[in-house]
Amino acid sequence: MPTAIVLREHGGPEVLRPEAISLARPGAGELRLRQTAVGVNFHDCYVRSGLYRTLTLPGIPGIEAAGVVEEVGPDVADFAAGDRVAYVDARYGAYASHRILPARLAVRLPDAVSEADAAGLLVKGLTAELLVREVHAIGPGDTILVHAAAGGVGRLLCRLAVHLGATVIGTVGSEAKASIARAAGCAHVIFYRQTDFVARVRELTDGRGVAVVYDSVGKDTFAGSLDCLSVRGHLVNFGQASGAVPPFEVSRLAAGSCTLTRPILFHYIGQRADLRNLTSRLFDRLATGVLTAERGTTYELADAAAAHAALESRAADGPLLLSP
């Protein structure tokens, strides 16, 4: 019997409870998947808590998973039963053992990429990819600041930026995470819970500031991130792990003719061609060893609550997966 985590109310991790679900046959343009690995992302925590009201309740949360095609619907030419695929779905539904998926969202996995690798990497890796090119083209000689540099997206972002020739300053919350950030290529690591990171960034850059700040922490770091920018610097706020960023005076950007963007992965993979391009770039990074898929921690699907608690505790090391 297919099962899924069904969100019936917003709240803490305990509102994530498994239920039996029924599944129809795939319709035109659809696949039926047996899912083998589901990725857990911070986005899922925002949806569960109600910070994001983007999932209609009751509903099945989760934006990424990998598995095997069980059946294809009419008009599906690109996929066949037995294909191994992964996907990112902005409409949710990933926290399930089985599901119906529009074939246009599916990405075929290369032999070298396991389903667990894909489910742990797709959202975070695609995000890191678009942050270093489409959102801000990183190049040799750039000095950049990455907050939560040891996090899931953070460590991939650092690796890519270093590969592209940048000097990376990373902030982290603990000594253990400092080692991860250094291993990801950070030339300088700042313990931003104890140290004034703005002063330290100014010191490390001879007062100039950095060309770009990648800020996924949000409320606690946003104002400081603005103060770390060089003239014509770019603040990329792509997450809010510490809470939503409060309103701010746009005129603050005038201090250095700075720019601010708030990118969302879904808007960069909405077209099938864009999804294909970005995914093949990510798989190339794996094939060439620029990025590696890390072995994460796997929880039973029914224990999704424990996975959320681990992610929100800041203690997670590596990707978190659910096993249906």
Ligand X SMILES: NC(=O)c1ccc[n+]([C@@H]2O[C@H](COP(=O)([O-])OP(=O)(O)OC[C@H]3O[C@@H](n4cnc5c(N)ncnc54)[C@H](OP(=O)(O)O)[C@@H]3O)[C@@H](O)[C@H]2O)c1
Binding site for ligand X (CB under 6 A): 41-43, 123-124, 127, 148, 150-154, 172-174, 177, 216-217, 220, 238-242, 263-265, 312, 314, 316
Q: How far is the CB of 19 from ligand X (least distance, A)?
A: 25
Tokens 């990025």 belong to residue: 291
**Shorter beta-carbon distance to ligand X: residue 31 or 265:** 265
Element housing 116 (H / E): helix 115-130
Write out the two tokens for 165: 């020739």
Q: How far is the CB of 60 from ligand X (least distance, A)?
A: 19
**Shorter beta-carbon distance to ligand X: residue 31 or 156:** 156
Q: How far is the CB of 88 from ligand X (least distance, A)?
A: 9
Q: How far is the CB of 84 from ligand X (least distance, A)?
A: 23
**Shorter beta-carbon distance to ligand X: residue 123 or 258:** 123
Q: Is 23 left (phi over 0), alpha (psi -120 to 50) or beta?
A: beta
Q: Which residues contact 16 (CB under 8 A, 6 or more apart)?
A: 5, 7, 48, 61, 95, 304, 305, 308
**Shorter beta-carbon distance to ligand X: residue 217 or 228:** 217
Q: Cβ distance 286 to 113 under 8 Å?
A: yes
Name the E strands within 3-152.
3-7, 16-20, 30-40, 64-72, 84-88, 98-102, 106-108, 143-146
User: Distance between CA 289 and CA 140 in Å, rounded?
Assistant: 20
**Shorter beta-carbon distance to ligand X: residue 42 or 92:** 42
Q: How far is the CB of 58 from ligand X (least distance, A)?
A: 23
User: Distance between CA 299 and CA 303 in Å, rounded?
Assistant: 6
Comparing every residue's Cβ against ligand X, the nearest one is 151
Q: How far is the CB of 206 from ligand X (least distance, A)?
A: 26
**Shorter beta-carbon distance to ligand X: residue 139 or 243:** 243
- In sequence order, the β-bridge partners of residue 39 are 321
